[in-house]
Structure 1
Amino acid sequence: MTSYTAGYKNKTISVLSIAGVALTLGMTGCSNSEKTEPTAKVEGEPAAAENIELLNVSYDVARDFYKGYNPLFIEHYKAENPNSNITVNQSHGGSSKQALSVANGLQADVATMNQGSDIELLEQKGLVEADWESKFPDNAVPFTSTIVFLVRKDNPKGIKDWADLTKDGVEIVMANPKVTGNGRYAFLGAYGYGLKAFNKDEAKTKSYVKDVLKNVKVYESGGRAATTTFVQRGIGDVLVTFENEANLAATDFGAGKVDIVYPKYSIKSESPVAIVKTVTDKKGTTAAAKAYLDYLWSEPAQQLAADLYLRPSVKSVLDKNGDKLPPIETFRPNDTFGSWDDIMGNFFSDGGVFDQLAVNAPK
């Protein structure tokens, strides 16, 4: 039986769990932080069940994927390990805020972020192994997304591509690039478009991006908050966000009220994953954490990603979902702007390019 509750260390989270199998008569349960001496086993008595608890700290718009993925994984893990009961807890928020929470002590077993720099931060803190990208396929990126535009029904402002975001009277909603991966990809998507449109002329590109940012009505604290502001509060003419988030709004809580516009050229966003090894080694959950992330590349998990408009890294699954994930020309931020250290330093540090161009952005 699967249940959903809320609340974890004063953070709003989604928690997915399965009921534990009853412990053998005479055994007492123990938490991960408290150990008891094992009770002598009676001959013929079944072994006591192992109880495992994982915490996945993730970015905000991934909540819908993991809401579906966790029960799939739990069923798979139980079939492979019938004497184990596994619970998966979720924490969601802006990707970089989540990474900082882990860096500051939140006991995550796994980190599933939407920006490589967030995992790199944990690597620099010694929480994640230096070769984390080689631990899983596709440089530890199980699925990707891209930046698209969500507009009002029938697109009254005529938003067709990045250039239209500079039109007079167009009000933009986006996540804040200073604190969220969603916002950074949106900003870098506009900047990458400018470099292509103006033949890598930095001055013209910066002028274009500055004009885009002048039209930003709201910078939200995360991608889901930006969607709520645009769809439910009715603020703005266009939401610049991830493809999967835009499709969720268009097919679910914003159905009939919004349309999706695909730019001709956009940025590829990658969602890397890693084991927080210092935590799992301490808890004894390293093997379970690896199994949890390994299963992201399974066919059921990859199809779930496609069903939620995430682009699977397994090509065969991506190819058979081309109807809902149309081809789009994309660029990798690292190929265009350098390493994430370079990107964060040049664009999003205090006084960086974003601060220079977004004069009305929150600090």
Structure 2
Amino acid sequence: MRSQHTCFQIAKHREQRMSFGKAGWLAALAAVAVSLTAAMPAQAQQKQTLLNVSYDPTRELYRAIDEAFIKQYKDTANVDLTIRQSHGGSGRQARSVIDGLEADVVTLALAYDIDAIADRGLIPENWQSRLPQNSSPYTSTIVFLVRKGNPKAIKDWDDLIKDGVQVITPNPKTSGGARWNYLAAWAYALEKNGGSEDKARAFVGDLLKHVPVLDTGARGATTTFVERGVGDVLLAWENEAFLAQEELGPDKFDIVVPSLSILAEPPVAIVDKIVDKKGTRAAAQAYLEFLYTPAAQEIIAKNYYRPIDKAVAAKYESKFPKVKLVTIDDKIFGGWRKAQKDHFSDGGTFDQIYLPQKK
């Protein structure tokens, strides 16, 4: 029979052996865990692609915006982002999205073109309330670009209808910029003639007689004027006029600011049906919100668009000429839906005053 002391020693030995065994097992498990952790790569960086469908003259702007945003988004969201761009006349771009071009975001020349996309159920009707300033992160206006020395002495809208003056402007059926051009001319004629629509109609009709060709978009019209040498004056987005001077030199062109122009408010929107299908909503939302940041507003100003950030606008105030501006929401136009219906729909005022000239 074993003694009590012997039994105690055996029990203690077993306890120690079990204790050492448990400790060893835990140590081994920890070592394996460390080994596995070391062997595992860091969290894989997600890759995504956005398509920004934009209007004609924004190529340079969004090239700079994309570069800045891609870097920031990689740092903050650990996403390797690619942003593809599509550019063309704003109305034509909207039609492409409606017809199936899978844009994650649209950055077009005017609200009506995004409304047209919303009317097809791709974007909510309240899209304009989802971002500040009616979803317009910058503004612009319409100016005249003339050849150096202004040989035709063009100072205001009336000078565009003088004998021998050729005017270059795109087609308002396909170009957002052309619609802004047309409405600015209409507003000038109304103001000059005491609100007479008949006289405004006659003035714009006369102006169109001086247009030798209607390009489909603003950049095409700029190419016609700047590179092909056609025309005496280009009705241009302010940023396009400045860009032409910058790229070709101030010795080639002058900018003329008319007595009255129009406040152009190019808007932006997420295309909800597409981002939800592709899983890119977070990136698309961050991209558009980035446009309102001081960093992006600086890029906007440097590319000759008018920033909406007050501090940035004050910094670049001297860069942009002061001009009297009407807006699309003024009584004379009644908003984009009414202006589109009255002037640019099939059989509207533009068709009535332009199409007979082609016969």
Report the TM-score, using the length of structure 2 for normalisation: 0.87
Aligned equivalent of 2:262: 267
Match of 1:231 among 221, 226, 230: 226
Structure having the higher strand fraction is: 1
Give the 5 Å matches for 1:1-363: 44-81=40-77, 83-253=78-248, 255-335=250-330, 336-359=332-355
Report the structure number with the largest CA radius of gyration. Answer: 2
Aligned equivalent of 2:31: none
Please state how far the C-alpha of 1:59 moved relative to its aligned partner.
0.5
Q: Distance in 2 between matches of 1:330 and 1:41?
A: 64
Q: Distance in 2 between matches of 1:308 and 1:182?
A: 17
8 Å CA contact 1:60–1:223 kept in 2: the answer is yes
SS at match of 1:191: helix
What CA deviation, in whole Å up to 9, does each residue of 1:289-337 have, x standing for no partner? 0000000011111111111110111122112111211221111122230
Please state how far the C-alpha of 1:341 moved relative to its aligned partner.
1.8
Aligned equivalent of 1:34: none
Q: Distance in 2 between matches of 1:216 and 1:120?
A: 29
Which amino acid is the alignment partner of residue 152 of structure 1? Answer: R
Please state how far the C-alpha of 1:255 moved relative to its aligned partner.
4.0
SS at match of 1:269: coil
8 Å CA contact 2:74–2:80 kept in 1: the answer is yes
- RMSD between aligned alpha carbons? 1.7
Q: 5+ residue gaps in structure 1?
A: 1-39
SS at match of 1:334: coil
SS at match of 2:318: coil
Please state how far the C-alpha of 1:49 moved relative to its aligned partner.
1.5
Which amino acid is the alignment partner of residue 47 of structure 1? Answer: Q
SS at match of 2:225: helix
- Percent sequence identity is 47
SS at match of 1:149: strand
8 Å CA contact 2:140–2:263 kept in 1: the answer is yes
Question: Kindly tell me: are residues 79 and 362 of structure 1, through their superposed partners in 2, closer, same or farther at Cα, counting changes over 3 Å?
Answer: farther
Which amino acid is the alignment partner of residue 264 of structure 2? Answer: S
SS at match of 1:291: helix
Structure having the higher helix fraction is: 2
Matched residues, number = 323
Q: Distance in 2 between matches of 1:184 and 1:41?
A: 61
8 Å CA contact 1:231–1:254 kept in 2: the answer is no
Q: Distance in 2 between matches of 1:149 and 1:108?
A: 32
Please state how far the C-alpha of 1:62 moved relative to its aligned partner.
0.8
Q: Distance in 2 between matches of 1:128 and 1:54?
A: 16
Which amino acid is the alignment partner of residue 232 of structure 2? Answer: D
Which amino acid is the alignment partner of residue 265 of structure 1? Answer: L
What CA deviation, in whole Å up to 9, does each residue of 1:237-293 have, x standing for no partner? 000011000110112135421110001110111110000000000111001100000
Question: Kindly tell me: are residues 146 and 250 of structure 1, through their superposed partners in 2, closer, same or farther at Cα, counting changes over 3 Å?
Answer: same
SS at match of 1:271: coil
Please state how far the C-alpha of 1:118 moved relative to its aligned partner.
0.8
8 Å CA contact 1:355–1:361 kept in 2: the answer is no
Please state how far the C-alpha of 1:44 moved relative to its aligned partner.
4.6
8 Å CA contact 2:257–2:321 kept in 1: the answer is no
Question: Kindly tell me: are residues 140 and 362 of structure 1, through their superposed partners in 2, closer, same or farther at Cα, counting changes over 3 Å?
Answer: farther
Q: Distance in 2 between matches of 1:156 and 1:49?
A: 58
The worse-fitting range, judged by mean Cα deviation, of 205-214 and 234-243 is: 205-214
Which amino acid is the alignment partner of residue 188 of structure 1? Answer: L
Report the TM-score, using the length of structure 1 for normalisation: 0.86
8 Å CA contact 1:59–1:113 kept in 2: the answer is yes
SS at match of 1:297: coil
